[in-house]
Amino acid sequence: MFEVKIFTLYPNLYPGPLNTGLYKKAQEKKIWNLEVIDIRDYATDKHRTVDDTPFGGGSGMLLRPDVVASALDKNLNKGDQIIYLSPKGKKLDQTTVKEFSKKTKLNILCGHFEGIDQRLLETRNIQEYSIGDFVLSGGETASYVFIDSIIRLLPGVLGNENSSKEESFEDDLLEYPQYTKPQNWEGKGTPDVLLSGDHAKIKSWRLSQSEDITRRQRPDLWKRYLNKKNEKY
């Protein structure tokens, strides 16, 4: 069982989109489960304060390290890895997501306001990951993205085990275009090769399409792909 724990100020945002179709079924099959911890439950004053103004000035509020630490310490074992979703983190990619999918536990801390006191990040086993170069208002929406990308890779979640092997980012290529019925639609047909039944030809057509798309859309991936290809020969 893949156990996900979320530390958040907004527990009512869960399970949210993580409780639909495939993921709901996977929870029922006990492939994964989700536990939500409300950080505010660990505040100690009567107003249940979780944040305060930053020392040195500046706009916004910061999460207090003592309150968040208490939430983490009371729900985790010492040294457990915690992922703090943050724009300052390493950027998530499919390789990282795959590594996470091989673990059995995932502890996620969602920030809010201006973020979290630095000392918390330094005193717990926290790794920061970003879902992209833009700023969200809270870590919760990022956590949907992060969890979604991992759960679909767990064995038994996707119907067809192969479908995750031929996707974008495998071998640093983006996916080739795909077609379904109707064969002719709004004056546009389907590429002949896909109707040919010749599997070798289809495979090489798809590869060349993937290469085209990647070269056009993602020069960064394209460069990596070419380097790896050259190493192989």
The side-by-side arrangement of strands in the sheet containing 32-38 is: 32-38, 2-8, 105-110, 82-91, 126-130
Helices and strands (H and E) in the chain: how many = 8, 7
User: Residue 10 Cβ, how far from ligand SAH at the closest point, in Å?
Assistant: 11
Minimum CB distance to ligand SAH smaller for 18 or for 26: 18
User: Could you identify the residue written with the tokens 């190493």?
Assistant: 231
32, 51, 64, 115: which one contacts ligand SAH (CB under 6 A)? 115
User: Residue 42 Cβ, how far from ligand SAH at the closest point, in Å?
Assistant: 17
**Is the distance from CB of 229 to CB of 182 less than 8 angstroms?**
no
Q: Which two tokens stand for residue 205?
A: 């057509």
66, 80, 114, 166: which one contacts ligand SAH (CB under 6 A)? 114
- Pattern of binders to ligand SAH over 65-94, x per CB under 6 A? --------------------xxxx------
User: Residue 141 Cβ, how far from ligand SAH at the closest point, in Å?
Assistant: 8
Minimum CB distance to ligand SAH smaller for 80 or for 128: 128
Is 64 a binder of ligand SAH (CB under 6 A)?
Answer: no
* Distance (Å) of CA 148 to CA 12, 94, 134, 156, 227: 18, 12, 19, 14, 30
**Is the distance from CB of 96 to CB of 131 less than 8 angstroms?**
no
User: Residue 55 Cβ, how far from ligand SAH at the closest point, in Å?
Assistant: 15
**Residue of 139, 118, 103 whose CA lies nearest to 69:** 118
Q: Which residues bind ligand SAH (CB under 6 A)?
A: 85-88, 110-112, 114-115, 130-132, 134-139, 142
